[in-house]
Amino acid sequence: MSALTPKPLSEVLRHHAALCVKPIFWIPPLLDILGCRFQQVEDETANPIDDEPAEPAKPAKRAKRRLMSDEEVAQLTPCKLAVLNLAAPGIHVAKHGGINNLFYYDEQGRFEECGTRANFFFANRHVHRSECSIFAPNDRTGPRSRLLVGYFHYSYVEKARRRKLEAPWPPLGFRGYRNRPVERINRKKLSKVTPDEWSRDPYLVCLLLSLAQRQARSLASPRQTTYLSRLLVTTTKKPDLYRFIFLYEAEITSQLLDSLDNPTCATERTAWPTIKLKRIPFRPFDTFQERLIAELMAPNPLGHNEALPIRGGKKE
């Protein structure tokens, strides 16, 4: 389905109800029908490591040696340690602390945390909550901006899908037995909702919509016509592990947010965003914080021109 001819949301609900499921189970065909797509933006710094060192036997214990030379380890600063927590495998708490330190540490920090959950609303109902940290510009940026930036570790949605598709416990008296038929069915279901490319997971669209909804619900009238959502994502997937943090950006219109609030009345074709994504390399560690903050504070770092007219206007 072309991004220029999306179906009205009411029509999607009527004719493609099987695709309208919980956000963790969204699949690419749903985005195709809605006219939403991903577009990767790269520059010359996107491939900083050609001679990536071999993977360690115990990455959790040897992360510093995996990412840094002995000299770099000896000269660790709080800022470098924060980058290391983001880049290396580790628990969510360590990564959350790392992004917090990068956003606020020393004079380069420009953000402060304003939430630890991203809530998604549909038909004016709260239908999903995600482990997504939310940050807003702090006093160091001058006049307060309405920009919100989310941080999300991709392992959350992987674990959430597995938990939802776990076979139920057998009844008392049958413990120790496995429900193999249900396990096989659930493995097939998990395979269907697992995208070929994790970086284009439709679930990330839900997070960007949630950030826009938070902005819209926190503002007094008059409302903006568009809301800029930015999302940072780290992953344990190879080959991106150790190397990149992903920046996603979308311009989401108030018309789209209105259609999500009243989907059965959304009979007009509404422009869904093109999700721009960019890989930001962790190396060199010394400049990562500066480069990351510069990307986030830029008015339009990934360039948006997808606000194209919808052919035909109202549904014919």
- Work out the number of other CB atoms within 10 angstroms of the CB of residue 10: 17
299 band by pLDDT with thresholds 50, 70 and 90: confident
| Run of H or E residues at 248 | strand 244-253
Answer yes or no: is pLDDT of 217 > 60.
yes
- On whether residue 218 sits in a domain, the answer given is yes
**Is residue 56 domain-resident?**
yes
DSSP H helical ranges for the chain: 9-15, 28-34, 63-67, 70-74, 78-87, 92-104, 155-164, 180-193, 203-218, 254-261, 285-297
Amino acid at 197: E
CB 102 within 8 A of CB 82: yes
Of residues 82 and 220, the one with the higher pLDDT is 82
Q: Report pLDDT digits (tens) over 247-267.
A: 999 999 999 999 999 998 888
Residue 302 lies in a domain: no
Render pLDDT for 102-118 as a digit per residue (tens, 0 to 9).
Answer: 888 766 678 889 999 99
Q: What mean pLDDT is predicted for residues 121-148?
A: 84
Q: Considering the domain boundaries, does residue 141 fall inside one?
A: yes
Residue 165 counted as domain residue: yes
Does some domain include residue 18? no
Residue 264 lies in a domain: yes
Domain assignment of residue 13, yes or no: no
In angstroms, the CA 73 to CA 81 distance is 9
Cis peptide before 222 (omega within 30 of 0): yes
Domain of 144, in residue numbers = 38-297
Distance from C-alpha of 311 to C-alpha of 313, rounded to nearest angstrom: 6
Number of domains the chain contains: 1
Cα separation, 138 vs 311, in Å, equals: 41
pTM confidence score: 0.83
Of 3-7, 222-226, 275-279, give the lowest mean pLDDT range.
3-7
Task: Provide the pLDDT for residue 187.
Answer: 93
Rounded distance, CA 315 to CA 216, Å? 26
